[in-house]
Amino acid sequence: MATRMKLKLKTVFVLYFMVSLMGLIYALMQLGQRCDCAEHDMPKDRTISRLRGELHRLQEQMRKAEPTKLPQKLAVKPAQPTIYVITPTYTRFVQKAELTRLAQTFLHVPQLHWILVEDSPHKTPLVSGFLASSGLAYTHLHTPTPRDRKLQEGDPSWLKPRGAEQRNEGLRWLREDRRGQPGADTQLGVVYFADDDNTYSLQLFEEMRGTQRVSVWPVGLVGGMRYERPVVEGGKVVRFHTGWRPSRPFPLDMAGFAVSLKLVIANQDACFDGDAPMGFLESSFLQGLVTMDELEPKAENCTKVLVWHTRTEKPKMKREEALQKQGLGSDTAVERIKAR
Amino acid sequence: MPKRRDILAIVLIVLPWTLLITVWHQSAIAPLLAIRKACHHLVKEIFIIPERLAVHRHRLADDGADRGRREAGQSSDSKEYCSSDKDIVEVVRTEYVYTRPPPWSDGLPTIHIITPTYSRPVQKAELTRLANTFLHVANLHWILVEDSQRRTPLVTRMLRETGLNYTHLNVETPRNYKLRADTRDPRIPRGTMQRNLALRWLRETFNSNSSQAGIVYFADDDNTYSLELFEEMRSTRKVSVWPVAFVGGLRYESPKVNAAGKVYGWKTVFDPHRPFAIDMAGFAINLRLILFKPQAYFKLRGVKGGYQESSLLRELVTLNDLEPKASNCTKILVWHTRTEKPVLVNEGKKGFTDLNVEI
């Protein structure tokens, strides 16, 4: 009896020893392949963020045409209204430079969402690559201007209103597609139309953030004057100080007003009329939205200039054109960006 | 005897399990620690310099490590763990607006930016967007030199409000020397006296023995600079060069770099045989070199069009010493944009707008 028991114990012991030895060897082999470990030992929050990333990617795939770079909020409600900046842009030599310095300004503004709309039948790689590396929250849209409304080579810049279709596309996105975004349940936001060659001070964005309906402020270097501005008396806008066609319903520049998101969504039909006569583009939009006495003056009762209507010269390329005729043009593969 | 056997048995049972547990535990923790450290590092960088982060991401993409993040001393595994989830990076970035400008870092060479400026309607706009760019760059010192008899209140106020680290100088170019409308006969190229004053200020303020590393860059107020440019120039040992867009009537002008990484010529159409056929925005000089050669200044008179940069550089360095940046001069990081002169026809003789409102 004793020997049988002893034997049993011995075998059990030996078996046990062998099993544990096998286990140890197995574990040691596992160490050699690090990658496998990752699956087992990811901490909870990394799993969550990975899943969130996948969710985000799936959402992107669902939204076929427009990949929107929107940072995921970690259960933090935005305390401030988001400023949605709609910028129409078109391909020309200085495009990347303009967008670069614009992005450098926007990077300083918290809670800003840039809606960049290209005047193009499809998204250009230059703009796509640029936006991806900009570090901003953005939406990349595109819509081509119909040929008859497009400025031709040699046309003066004031001949046809520019960017109407693109701005309307931005408005459409805000009204329709934005709902798919996280944080879109709130209508707390301000819409601003920023052209890519103007200059914006950082203070401007803080001034416009509190817009309830439509806020206005002076714009420098526009209308053939040092600045144009609304004239404020008793905290209300009574008329506009401008040298060019002051009888317009809203003799403002595109950069001189901002509209609250609520108002944009409430008035689904308000948009820019591309056929409007010169200088009436802003009025065609604002007329349906607000009356003059409802305007909210900003920038210290419209006495400070916080935005300038600068324009960039077209770079002279005569030598380039001459070279290209000889087939020796500068390398077009060098994109004028910080390439990947 | 049974005691010994018992003890032996117990030891032999316990030993493999303890080994297993300790080794397993360690292998599980180590990569976790690596993640934590790498991610933490990432997080820290995001908080302080988000744009820098984007630049780093770029650089690594260039190095072929797809979605990798090289951290000094990290194991190769942490690359896979931490980097690829871009969402973490984005979340943190947008929840926190970093301090403007970025906090001073003792390890980085200071970039001294010399900008000549003069009063005109677009001046404040140009300086505003330039300041918005510079507010992203760490360890930046802006030397703004006005072409005026006295420092104007507009510039003084603007500089103070930006919060940048700056020095405000002024020197007036004598009236008969100023660039006239017909550029066929430029007396002194615009900005020369102002840049020379800044060089003189640097030489008076810093002595050669000072250990403070610095880079000197001449930035005009209407150009456009990418943030990557400033990081490229920080590693200048003597004089570094890179391509500039929209100069010389071309899409871009660039130095010619041979396979050995040395500059041997200039890819320009306009007089490529100049000693330094490069635009003012296309090079940066190490401060030590400026201090070491105290007689080197921009030549004031008798300088042919396009030779201004050469008049300074030839006293400092030879072609062989030039360091090509921007991936061996293949990327464009600075654009020579020019701002249109605004048409102020409606101001009329008396001035329609209130002159007290600053633009």
- Note the pLDDT tens digit of each residue in A38-75: 444 445 656 666 676 676 566 656 654 444 544 443 33
* Mutation for B interface: A126, A308, A323, A326, most B CBs within 10 A: A308
The stretch B267-281 carries a mean pLDDT of: 90
State the smallest CA–CA distance between residue B328 and chain A in angstroms. Answer: 12
Extended strands (E) in chain B: 110-117, 140-146, 166-170, 214-218, 224-225, 239-241, 244-245, 252-257, 263-267, 283-286, 322-324, 334-335
Q: Which residues of A touch B77 (CB under 8 A)?
A: 34-35
Longest alpha-carbon distance in chain A: 118
The predicted model gives A246-251 an average pLDDT of 89
Q: What share of chain A has pLDDT > 70, as a percent?
A: 72
Q: Provide the CA A174 distance to its chain's centre, in angstroms.
A: 12
Nearest CA in chain B to A227: B353
Query: Which chain A residue has its CA at the smallest distance from B227's CA?
Result: A104
Average pLDDT (A108-123) is 92
Contact B282, B232 (CB under 8 A): no
- Residue A218 region by backbone torsions, left for phi larger than 0, else alpha for psi between -120 and 50, else beta: beta
Q: How far from A286 is each of A158, A230, B35, CA to CA, in Å?
A: 20, 15, 52
CA dihedral A281, A118, A308, B155 (to 10 degrees): 180
Query: Cα–Cα distance between B74 and A114 in angstroms, integer?
Result: 36
Residue in this structure with the two tokens 């096998």, named with its chain if needed:
A22
Q: CB atoms < 10 A from the CB of A288, how many?
A: 11
pLDDT exceeds 50 at position B299: yes
Least confident range of A236-250, B176-190, B250-264, B328-342: B176-190
Name the pLDDT band for A236 (thresholds 50, 70, 90): very high
Contact B220, B122 (CB under 8 A): no
B43 pLDDT above the threshold of 60: no
User: What is the spatial distance between Cα B153 and Cα B160, in angstroms, rounded to a whole number?
Assistant: 10
Cβ-based contacts of A38 with chain B (< 8 Å): 31, 80-81
Residue B98 counted as an annotated binding residue: no
Chain B: closest CA distance from residue A267 (Å)? 30
B237 vs A196, B95, B258, B321, B322, CA distance in Å? 36, 37, 19, 9, 9
Q: Name the least confident of A70-79, A157-166, B334-343.
A: A70-79
Q: Which value, to the nearest 10 degrees, does the dihedral of the CA atoms of residues B92, A133, A339, A165 take?
A: 180
CA distance A270 to chain B (A): 31
Instruction: Determine what percent of chain B is predicted with pLDDT higher than 70.
Output: 75
Q: CA of B59, closest CA in chain A: separation in Å?
A: 8
Contact B269 A135 (CB under 8 A): no
Task: List B144's β-bridge partners, or say none.
Answer: B115, B168
A101 touches chain B (CB under 8 A): yes
Q: What's the CA gap between A326 and A329, in Å, rounded?
A: 8
3-class DSSP state of A240: strand
Tell me what pLDDT residue B13 has. 77
Q: Give the separation between CA B53 and CA B50, rounded to whole angstroms.
A: 5
pLDDT surpasses 80 at B71: no
B338 is in an annotated binding site: yes
With b for 16 or more beta-carbon neighbours within 10 A and e for fewer, the B300-324 pattern comes to: beebeebbbbbbbbbebbebeebbb
Q: Do A71 and B331 touch (CB under 8 A)?
A: no
Q: What contacts A10, CB < 8 A, 6 or more positions away?
A: none
* pLDDT greater at residue B96 or residue A137: A137
Q: Whole-number mean pLDDT of chain B?
A: 77
Residue B162 has pLDDT above 70, yes or no: yes
pLDDT at A88: 95
Tokens describing residue A320:
């380039």
Mean pLDDT of A312-317: 86
Measure the CA–CA gap between B59 and A133, rounded to whole angstroms: 12
Torsion of CA A307, A138, B130, B226, to 10 degrees: -160
Contact at CB, B93 and A37, closer than 8 angstroms: no
- CB contact (8 A) between residue B250 and residue A323: yes
Chain A interface disruption, residue of B42, B242, B250, most A CBs within 10 A:
B250
Flag the least confident range among A75-79, B5-9, B161-165.
A75-79
Question: Hey, are the CB atoms on A218 and B133 less than 8 Å from each other?
Answer: no
Give the max Cα distance, chain B: 120
| Angle between helices B2-48 and B50-62 in degrees, nearest 10 | 110
Checking if the pLDDT of A121 tops 80, the result is yes
| A257-260 vs A214-216, strand pairing mode | antiparallel
Instruction: Tell me, yes or no, if A238 comes closer than 8 A to chain B by beta carbon.
Output: no
Amino acid present at B331: K
Using DSSP's 3-state secondary structure scheme, residue B326 falls into helix
CA distance A225 to A228: 7
Between residues A2 and B62, which one has the greater pLDDT?
A2
